[in-house]
Amino acid sequence: MLQTRIGSRWLVPAVAWEAGKPLVIEEVEVAPPQKMEVRIKILFTSLCHTDVYFWEAKGQNPVFPRILGHEAGGVVESVGEGVTDLQPGDHVLPVFTGECKECAHCKSEESNMCDLLRINTDRGVMLHDQKSRFSINGKPIFHFVGTSTFSEYTVVHVGCLAKINPLAPLDKVCVLSCGISTGLGATLNVAKPKKGSSVAVFGLGAVGLAAAEGARIAGASRIIGVDLNANRFELAKKFGVTEFVNPKDYNKPVQEVIAEMINGGVDRSVECTGHIDAMISAFECVHDGWGVAVLVGVPHKDAVFKTSPMNLLNERTLKGTFFGNYKPRSDIPSVVEKYMNKELEVEKFITHEVPFSEINKAFDLMLKGEGLRCIIRMDA
Ligand code: NAD
Ligand code: ZN
């Protein structure tokens, strides 16, 4: 690992120079935080599929060189002008979407789609001056979704930082800054299953298993896991999934299989695959009269959702959600508290750990589909 020279702000991020090429650990200058910005020291970060999608840059705008990373935990090092609710030493989780607390969305109880800080995957600069805070010999290195956590230090808009309980272990709760909260919130905040109800979860990756965890917390009595990859089933048992369906094992649509298993359909379903067929099945497998389906997966840009309007007339509800409907600053601290009071189990999502110098191993694991979350320790 290279030396860190904090005094002159020469630090050590992992730079993605080109699409699909291994990240390189370099000395990069991280400029001080400007108006409404905070510079944080990242202690732990983890790899999520979204980092891999934008690193591969297939079907996305390639923005390079860039510092990826958005699931992380850190400590505030310094704050810029106008920042009043954070100070050096505070423990924070950076979030890829934000909460300005002033726009119509932030003021609405129903929305978390902040006008100012909503995710923007094409922007590689800070909002304040449209410039990057990262540079090598004066050449800018771009930011990623406002977080860029594959760096010992990063600069984030204050609206994208959740201040959390300083007693919470950052090496565990860092995973709550993206995928786990997304799946959990999709169930608890949007699908809202009743105690004793049935819930189908499509896709048993980290997001889907977090949705299953939400169903377990809500007291669902039957949790049906649907995945094309049977290897996921053993792991899913730890998350309270009680029954499994592999659509490949049947020669009829999976929604019919589920309707036969559960007397006409499930009470709730949560789709976490990103595949349009699974989205349609997730909707069509809920019970008429009261069933609610929630879409979480990000579809292909040309995907079209096709179903008979009769399915809606028969009193099924279709919803979608972004970051589990959580507002990052107002709600994520309480998700951390759910972990602290042992209501939510986070450890079972963490299957691997690597030192920062071996960050590319975390990419290899994800590309092979091994495990759920790999924690990257910055101090090692
Ligand atoms: P993952 O790749 O680890 O898991 C997806 C699982 O779905 C895999 O196990 C795969 O085998 C399964 N699958 C694929 N097609 C299927 C099908 N037709 N039927 C049944 N199972 C199928 O992904 P992840 O990290 O858990 O993320 C899941 C989705 O959630 C992705 O689309 C991701 O982009 C999205 N996401 C959305 C938000 C949001 O705010 N809405 C936030 C984070 C991630
Ligand atoms: Zn806002």
How far does residue 97's CA lie from ligand 2's centre (Å)?
10
In order, the DSSP letters of 293-318 are EEE-SPPPTT------THHHHTT-EE
Distance 97 CA to ligand 1 centre (A): 19
- CB-based burial of residue 379 (10 Å sphere; 0-12 exposed, 13-18 middle, 19+ buried)? exposed
| Closest residue CA from atom 44 of ligand 1 | 179
Q: Which atom of ligand 1 is nearest to the CA of 322?
A: 40
pLDDT at 1 over 50: no
Q: How far is residue 133's CA from residue 5's CA, in Å, rounded to a whole number? A: 17
- pLDDT, tens only, 230-256: 989 998 999 999 999 999 999 999 999
Instruction: Give the pairing type, strands 24-25 and 14-15.
Output: antiparallel
Question: Which residues, judged by CB distance below 6 Å to any ligand atom, belong to the binding site of ligand 1?
Answer: 49, 179, 182, 202-208, 226-229, 232, 247, 272-275, 277-278, 296-298, 321-323
Asked if 171 and 47 touch (Cβ cutoff 8 Å), the reply is no
Q: Above pLDDT 90, what percent of the chain?
A: 90
145 CA → ligand 2 middle, Å = 16
Q: Distances from the Cα of 363 to the Cαs of 34, 48, 55, 354, in angstroms?
A: 32, 9, 10, 11
User: Hey, what are 243's tokens?
Assistant: 């029954």
* pLDDT over 90 (residue 171): yes
Whether 118 is catalytic = yes
DSSP letter at 75? Answer: E
**Among candidates 370, 216, 205, which has minimal Cα distance to 297?**
205
Summarize pLDDT for 140-158 with one digit per residue, the tens. Answer: 999 999 999 999 999 999 9
160 is catalytic: no
Extract the tokens encoding 134: 């990262």
The pTM for the full model equals: 0.93
Sheet of 28-30, strands arranged across = 10-11, 28-30, 134-136, 139-141
> Mind listing the pLDDT tens digit for each residue in 109-144?
999 999 999 999 999 999 999 999 999 999 999 999
Can you tell me which atom of ligand 1 is nearest the CA of 209?
26
The closest residue, in CA terms, to atom 31 on ligand 1 is 297
Cα(72) to centroid of ligand 2, in Å? Answer: 22
CA distance 377 to 292: 40
- Using only C-alpha atoms, what is the Rg of the chain? 21
Task: Tell me the best of 272, 276, 351 to mutate to test the pocket of ligand 1, counting ligand atoms within 8 Å of each CB and taking the most.
Answer: 272
**Euclidean distance between CA atoms 175 and 213, whole angstroms:** 14
Average the pLDDT over each of 13-22, 57-66, 187-196 and give the range with the smallest value. Answer: 57-66
pLDDT band at 49 (very low <50, low <70, confident <90, very high): confident
Establish whether 70 is a catalytic residue. yes
Q: How far apart are CA 127 and CA 129, in angstroms?
A: 6
Please report which residue ranges of 93-178 form alpha helices under DSSP H.
104-107, 170-173
Half-sphere exposure of residue 251: CA atoms within 13 angstroms, side-chain side: 0
As a whole number of angstroms, the distance between CA 47 and CA 376 comes to 8
> CA-CA distance, 199 to 239, in Å (whole number)?
13
β-bridge partners, 101 = none
| Buried/exposed 17-30: b ≥16 CB within 10 Å, e otherwise | eeeeeebebbebbb
The whole-angstrom separation of Cα 143 and Cα 39 is 13
Whether the pLDDT of residue 4 is over 60: the answer is no
In one letter, which amino acid is 50? T
Encoded tokens for 135: 């540079």
